[in-house]
Chains A and B, each alone.
Chain A
Amino acid sequence: AQKITQTQPGMFVQEKEAVTLDCTYDTSDPSYGLFWYKQPSSGEMIFLIYQGSYDQQNATEGRYSLNFQKARKSANLVISASQLGDSAMYFCAMREAEAGNKLTFGGGTRVLVKP
């Protein structure tokens, strides 16, 4: 089974609007962390936001927020007030305590912001 599933291969969003990127995960490990990365065409993976499995509140970092629904095993990324520079691939990833230090990534969602 896929550890991380991103069901939206591509999305268009109007500049200044909000967009939600879906991510569901599969783990039996009670201790894990969820991450979102942005990958522009240059190729670098840019860390955006992190949510720990024991965190009580949803994570926020500037225009990024993570809608963490533990029972549903989902960790959706919300980007508010989209900007043209937000056009990129977005990857959800998970680190599990039992798997050590490595991240497991989903297949990604391509976002294109329209002016």
Chain B
Amino acid sequence: GAGVSQSPRYKVAKRGQDVALRCDPISGHVSLFWYQQALGQGPEFLTYFQNEAQLDKSGLPSDRFFAERPEGSVSTLKIQRTQQEDSAVYLCASSLHGGYYSGNTIYFGEGSWLTVV
């Protein structure tokens, strides 16, 4: 498809279980972002890739969160030993350019809705 694709769309995990969320960015997009959105709040930045390089992971809440983009296209966000506070929508986004360019539009996927029980 032409947009950012995320899978799974919905995931229910038992506390302590590991989960992996996949993101297929728009073809040719250099930049890829992961955001976490709690219910009723705005998205919070987690991490940013420029091609395969993870340039910013300042938003990852703990060392249980790990992201990779090994070939500069598809990315996976992995959450180890999930906790109830990890329940949120995880949004992936991509943009054409790398680096700062103010008009560089960021396009989002529909998100992966994670519920930890």
Q: Does A68 contact B (CB under 8 A)?
A: no
Which of the listed residues A32, A35, A105 has the most CB atoms from chain B within 10 Å of its own CB? Answer: A105
A contacts with B, residue count (CB < 8 A): 28
Interface string of B6-36 (1 = CB under 8 A from A): 0000000000000000000000000101000
Task: Decide: A43 near B45, CB < 8 A? Known: A32-B102, A101-B99.
Answer: no
Chain B residues 38-78 with CB under 8 Å of chain A are 40-45, 48, 50, 55-56
Interface string of A96-113 (1 = CB under 8 A from B): 010011111111100000
Chain A residues whose CB sits within 8 angstroms of the CB of B97 once the complex forms: 101
Chain A residues whose CB sits within 8 angstroms of the CB of B33 once the complex forms: 101-103
Chain B residues whose CB sits within 8 angstroms of the CB of A43 once the complex forms: 89, 91, 110-111, 113
A42 engages B110 (CB within 8 Å): yes
Chain A residues whose CB sits within 8 angstroms of the CB of B93 once the complex forms: 45
Task: Give, as a whole number of angstroms, the nearest-CB distance from A77 to chain B.
Answer: 15
Interface string of B69-111 (1 = CB under 8 A from A): 0000000000000000000010101010111111111111111
Q: Which A residues form the contact surface with B (CB < 8 A)?
A: 4, 31-33, 35, 37, 42-47, 50, 52-53, 91, 93, 95, 97, 100-108
6 example contacts (A-B, Cβ-Cβ < 8 A) are as follows A46-B108, A100-B99, A101-B50, A101-B95, A105-B42, A107-B41
Q: Which B residues form the contact surface with A (CB < 8 A)?
A: 31, 33, 40-45, 48, 50, 55-56, 89, 91, 93, 95, 97-111, 113
